[in-house]
């Protein structure tokens, strides 16, 4: 990572900015805006050093900081944890002009955003993602939520943040498996909107496959910036996922089903990687991708994802479970399943109500070499 580079600011419409840079963690207070007195800093137990630094930066800038440690990963996204944070806000006397800061991975930013959206019908939130997945996906866009026993993110709200701060230096200590999982969402942006992302991934792998899967990837900051720009442009045009924003769900309907069936033991980016291969095969079966170019694009899904060490197949024999979960997906309309597929590279479209036989056939094509990620 080049520390000489100035931070990059990516606007999300005219609503807020995403700041991406090296050594910018202490700038969190700049994104809070005027009138804030109290800040609830929500973080997982795995980030004591970073939470101390953010707490110190906020206190140096005159804020009264209340710290809330929440469980790691999906265990944070429950009604019980959210209720505990509401109690903390109430006991500390938080008003509508105060704020929440979410410091952590996508699960923490989802939770912090939901708590901010629901407290007093909405207080300011600043997201400080500490994982690649959080930077390029969860923290940007204003979608917040918690899980229930029936599915992922079924309870939530659209609540745009006051700002998002992505300090790329924090990725240096991110476990490789988590960074690779985040690259799954980056690759998604390449297939739906920005093919340069796929070229950069290919270049990094050709130069040094091991480094391409680490924070030492020389293209990592550009990949983050490009993925954030894709999401920012889509979100600015469609905040509430009524039309265009659905393209960001490429690979997610099947991917979310895998996550739930596996009890969330798979990382989100791993499940989405398989989900992208699934919808690529579904696009070919339904005629959206055809001929040699279509075959090549399906093959490219597998080659790019596998080059990063991401899974591209799922175990056989689980179709009934997966289908039942997909039918409860929040993107469905009644009993009609909806998928994002490609008509070509960077040409996403919707596939509404495909025949069940084709859905199962696509599953067969991704379950022949079924494995579980490490």
**According to the annotation, is 69 in a ligand binding site?**
no
245 is known as an active-site residue: yes
**According to the annotation, is 288 in a ligand binding site?**
no
Task: Give CA–CA dist 26/29, Å, rounded.
Answer: 7
> Beta strands 38-43 and 99-104: pairing type?
parallel
**According to the annotation, is 138 in a ligand binding site?**
no
185 is known as an active-site residue: yes
**According to the annotation, is 76 in a ligand binding site?**
yes
* Tens of pLDDT, residues 167-214: 999 999 999 999 999 999 999 999 999 999 999 999 999 999 999 999
**According to the annotation, is 252 in a ligand binding site?**
yes
Task: Give CA–CA dist 278/259, Å, rounded.
Answer: 14
**According to the annotation, is 331 in a ligand binding site?**
no
240 is known as an active-site residue: no
249 is known as an active-site residue: yes
2 is known as an active-site residue: no
Please identify which of the residues 159, 185, 225, 301 carries the catalytic annotation: 185
Please identify which of the residues 241, 306, 328, 331 carries the catalytic annotation: 241
Please identify which of the residues 268, 288, 301, 302 carries the catalytic annotation: 268
* Tens of pLDDT, residues 83-130: 999 999 999 999 999 999 999 998 999 999 999 999 999 999 999 999
252 is known as an active-site residue: yes
3 pLDDT exceeds 90? no
- pLDDT at position 336, please? 86
Please identify which of the residues 249, 267, 281, 284 carries the catalytic annotation: 249
* Tens of pLDDT, residues 294-308: 999 999 999 999 999
Among 49, 115, 117, 104, CA closest to 74: 104
Among 283, 254, 275, 257, CA closest to 349: 283
43 is known as an active-site residue: no
**According to the annotation, is 77 in a ligand binding site?**
yes
147 in Cβ contact with 156 (< 8 Å):
no
Please identify which of the residues 43, 124, 143, 221 carries the catalytic annotation: 143
> Beta strands 124-129 and 99-104: pairing type?
parallel
301 is known as an active-site residue: no
Reported pTM: 0.90
Task: Set out the domains of the chain in order of their start, with CATH numbers.
Answer: 8-173 (3.40.50.1970), 176-366 (1.20.1090.10)
- pLDDT at position 130, please? 95
């Amino acid at each position: 990572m080049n520390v000489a580079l100035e931070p990059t600011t990516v606007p999300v419409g005219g609503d807020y900015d995403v700041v991406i840079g090296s050594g910018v963690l202490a700038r969190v207070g700049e994104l809070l805006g005027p009138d804030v007195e109290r800040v609830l800093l929500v973080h997982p137990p795995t980030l004591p050093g970073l939470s101390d630094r953010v707490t110190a930066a906020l206190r140096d800038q005159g804020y009264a900081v209340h710290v809330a440690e929440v469980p790691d990963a999906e265990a944070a996204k429950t009604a019980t944890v959210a209720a505990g944070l509401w109690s903390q806000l109430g006991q500390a006397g938080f008003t509508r002009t105060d704020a929440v800061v979410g410091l952590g991975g996508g699960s923490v930013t989802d939770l912090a955003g939901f708590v901010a959206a629901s407290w007093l019908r909405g207080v300011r939130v600043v997201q400080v993602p500490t994982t690649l997945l959080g930077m390029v996906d969860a923290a940007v866009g204003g979608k917040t939520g918690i899980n229930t026993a029936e599915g992922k993110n079924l309870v939530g709200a659209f609540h745009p943040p006051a700002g998002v701060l992505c300090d790329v230096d924090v990725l240096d200590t991110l476990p490789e498996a988590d960074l690779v999982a985040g690259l799954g969402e980056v690759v998604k942006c390449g297939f739906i909107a920005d093919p340069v992302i796929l070229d950069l991934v290919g270049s990094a792998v050709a130069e040094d496959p091991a480094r391409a899967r680490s924070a030492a990837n020389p293209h990592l900051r550009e990949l983050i910036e490009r993925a954030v720009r894709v999401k920012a442009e889509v979100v600015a045009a469609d905040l509430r996922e009524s039309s265009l924003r659905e393209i960001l769900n490429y690979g997610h309907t099947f991917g979310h089903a895998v996550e739930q069936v596996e009890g969330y033991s798979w990382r989100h980016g791993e499940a989405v990687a398989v989900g992208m291969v699934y919808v690529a095969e579904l696009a070919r079966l339904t005629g959206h991708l055809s001929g040699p170019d279509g075959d090549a694009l399906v093959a490219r899904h597998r080659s790019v994802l596998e080059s990063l060490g991401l899974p591209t197949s799922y175990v056989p024999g689980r179709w009934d479970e997966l289908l039942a979960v997909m039918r409860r997906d929040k993107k469905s309309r009644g009993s009609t399943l909806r998928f994002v597929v490609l008509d070509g590279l960077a040409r996403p479209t919707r596939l509404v109500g495909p025949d069940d036989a084709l859905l199962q056939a696509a599953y067969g094509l991704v379950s022949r070499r079924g494995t579980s990620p490490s």
